[in-house]
Amino acid sequence: MNILAEIAGRTKLRVAEEKARLPLSEVKRRAEAAAKECEPFAFERALKGGDISFICEVKRASPSKGLIAADFPYLDIARDYQAAGAAAVSCLTEPYWFKGEDRYLSEIAAEISIPVLRKDFVVNEYMVCAARALGASAVLLICALLDDAQLRSFAQLAGELGLSALVEAHDEAEVERALLAGARVVGVNNRDLRSFQVDMEVSCRLRSLVPPEILFVSESGIESAGDIERLRRHGVDAVLIGEKLMRAADRRAMLAELRGGGQ
């Protein structure tokens, strides 16, 4: 079984436990209440226009790298990202492989003013509603994990809650499926979630398949100002960076270095 299927299976059990504590009707009510108080689609707005935007990730561990941050002052990290000019923050909430927690997301969203993406393995509508209820402005939908009907219905539900959906693809067929599902933000993962192989060329190759009015985010394995420059040249709207920033002693300085010559 590949890791994605394994994570999805474990996630379904996790959500079933959550549901037993807090029913879907209550999470929906909380999500709708949160939607009334938040600016709709703030995530998309934050990525639009200007130079390439940075989505900076708060990630404690990953299946490919193991423990990334022994010391994990997640609120300080999120505040640093905001101070360094990040357009948005991505926060892992998956507990078993990424050592994430829902409270990291809710506390970060309450602490900073830039939008926060819930980075998790969404497998049902409960998780979309919970994302909003926790204070997220965006939710990740992974094409490799969801069929067309699920992609469409979760993207629509997100839309009804004013949440942006970052629809993640890794090849031509998945980009096509993302667009068919009505994605307004397509993320191309440079990392193959099955083999963990990282190749920036994947983003460069797939860029032209996404029309200019749809936001294009390049995700994973981005490590240098040179990488960013290459993606900029290909017309990428935003980059999603985790490990390189998480491991930096001075995250603000690292973000400035990655941004390089752009304004």
Catalytic amino acids? 57, 59, 119, 168, 189, 219-220
Among positions 240, 254, 255, 258, the unique one binding ligand IGP when judged by CB under 6 A = 240
Residue nearer to ligand IGP on the CB measure, 133 or 246:
246
Q: Is 93 in the site for ligand IGP (CB under 6 A)?
A: no
Residue nearer to ligand IGP on the CB measure, 35 or 198:
198
Residue 118, strand partner residues: 91, 139
What sign has the CA pseudo-torsion 164, 185, 223, 83? negative
- Write the DSSP string, 164-227: EEEEEESSHHHHHHHHHTT-SEEEEESB-TTT--B-THHHHHHGGGS-TTSEEEEES---SHHH
Long-range contacts: 1-7, Cβ < 8 Å, 24+? 2/193, 2/194, 3/63, 3/97, 3/193, 3/194, 4/121, 4/142, 4/144, 4/145, 4/193, 4/194, 7/63, 7/94, 7/96, 7/97, 7/121
Closest separation in Å from C-beta 222 to ligand IGP: 6
Q: Is 151 in the site for ligand IGP (CB under 6 A)?
A: no
Residue number with the shortest CB distance to ligand IGP? 242
Residue nearer to ligand IGP on the CB measure, 38 or 84:
84
Q: Is 243 in the site for ligand IGP (CB under 6 A)?
A: yes
Closest separation in Å from C-beta 189 to ligand IGP: 5
Q: Is 221 in the site for ligand IGP (CB under 6 A)?
A: yes
Q: Is 218 in the site for ligand IGP (CB under 6 A)?
A: no
Among positions 38, 99, 242, 258, the unique one binding ligand IGP when judged by CB under 6 A = 242
Q: Is 100 in the site for ligand IGP (CB under 6 A)?
A: no
Burial bucket for residue 20 (CB in 10 Å: 0-12, 13-18, 19+) = exposed
Residues at the contact surface with ligand IGP, assessed by CB under 6 A: 57, 59, 119, 168, 189, 219-222, 240-244
